[in-house]
């Protein structure tokens, strides 16, 4: 195996393990000496890979991911660009900025003529969704990722307001509204909350007692019963 292949292989292996892995283990897996592994790690770090090594522990790949060389057809690139453009117009500031950054990174490596086409935007996305939400959706996404509780004041369709503590596990992007899907401690049931009716959002520094994935699956099951498909 050539050195360059091995370097990619090394990154992939680091991805799989999320806990720290010792250099010795990696070296064995790759069939190289520990010394060479250290050199490989140094090379990858030199190329910007976010690998952290700690004495006594091992190596971890920090969040943030390097996509290896990928082949996309031009329609696939168009699809990705159009999609990112749509996300960039969403009212979620952090996500929107992330989409714009991703677009910039992709554009930077496209061939000139295709980039021009994309800059010129033959594929347009509708007007930005109304940024009427007073809350920071980034907080919601973070709570979802970390399985943390959220507290807020909710004003329902009838206008009645109530203070809620919920376990959020999904965020829906619909035509005009963003919807937080969560288990509601008050109702002891799944509920969805329109983002524009939420106020006084605060992240609670307490993990909720169930796995996000499980909640999601159960919620899906409840959806399948009343409606077909």
Partner DNA sequence: GCCCTACTGTCAGATTCTGGCAGTAGCAAT
Partner DNA sequence: ATTGCTACTGCCAGAATCTGACAGTAGGGC
Residues found near DNA in the complex (CB under 7 A) = 2-3, 6, 21-24, 31-36, 38-42, 53-59
Q: Does 148 bind its own copies (CB under 8 A)?
A: no
Residue with tokens 């050199």: 39
Q: Among 25, 30, 102, which residue's Cα sits nearest to residue 60?
A: 25
- Environment class of residue 40 by beta-carbon count within 10 Å: exposed (0-12), middle (13-18) or buried (19+)? buried
Give the separation between CA 209 and CA 178, rounded to whole angstroms: 25
Interacting partner of 176 out of its own copies, DNA, none (Cβ under 5 to 8 A depending on kind):
its own copies
Interacting partner of 165 out of DNA, its own copies, none (Cβ under 5 to 8 A depending on kind):
none
For DNA, the closer CB: 12 or 33:
33
| Cβ-contact 183, 189 below 8 angstroms | yes
The DSSP call for residue 158 is T
CB of 208 to its own copies, least distance (A): 14
Interacting residues with its own copies between 190 and 229 (CB under 8 A): 212-213, 216-217
- Environment class of residue 192 by beta-carbon count within 10 Å: exposed (0-12), middle (13-18) or buried (19+)? middle
Interacting partner of 38 out of its own copies, DNA, none (Cβ under 5 to 8 A depending on kind):
DNA
Encoding tokens for residue 178? Answer: 């963003």
CB of 6 to its own copies, least distance (A): 11
- For residues 14 to 43, the per-residue mask of contacts with its own copies, x marking binding by CB under 8 A and - elsewhere, is -xx-x-------------------------
């Amino acid at each position: 195996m050539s050195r360059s292949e091995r370097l990619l292989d090394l990154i992939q292996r680091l991805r799989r393990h999320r806990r720290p892995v010792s250099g010795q283990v990696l070296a064995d897996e790759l069939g190289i000496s520990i010394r060479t592994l250290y050199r490989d790690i140094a090379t990858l770090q030199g190329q910007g890979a976010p690998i952290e090594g700690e004495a006594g522990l091992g190596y971890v790949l920090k969040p943030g991911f390097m996509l290896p060389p990928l082949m996309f057809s031009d329609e696939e690139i168009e699809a990705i660009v159009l999609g990112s453009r749509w996300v960039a117009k969403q009212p979620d500031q952090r996500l929107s900025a992330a989409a714009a950054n991703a677009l910039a990174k992709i554009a930077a490596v496209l061939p000139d003529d295709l980039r021009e086409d994309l800059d010129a935007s033959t594929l347009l996305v509708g007007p930005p969704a109304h940024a009427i939400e007073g809350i920071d959706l980034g907080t919601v996404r973070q709570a979802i990722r970390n399985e943390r509780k959220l507290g807020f004041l909710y004003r329902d369709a009838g206008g009645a307001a109530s203070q809620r503590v919920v376990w959020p596990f999904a965020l829906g992007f619909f035509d005009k509204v963003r919807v937080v899907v969560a288990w509601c401690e008050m109702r002891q049931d799944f509920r969805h909350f329109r983002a524009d009716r939420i106020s006084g959002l605060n992240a609670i520094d307490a993990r909720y007692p169930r796995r996000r994935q499980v909640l999601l699956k159960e919620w899906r099951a409840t959806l399948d019963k009343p409606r077909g498909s």
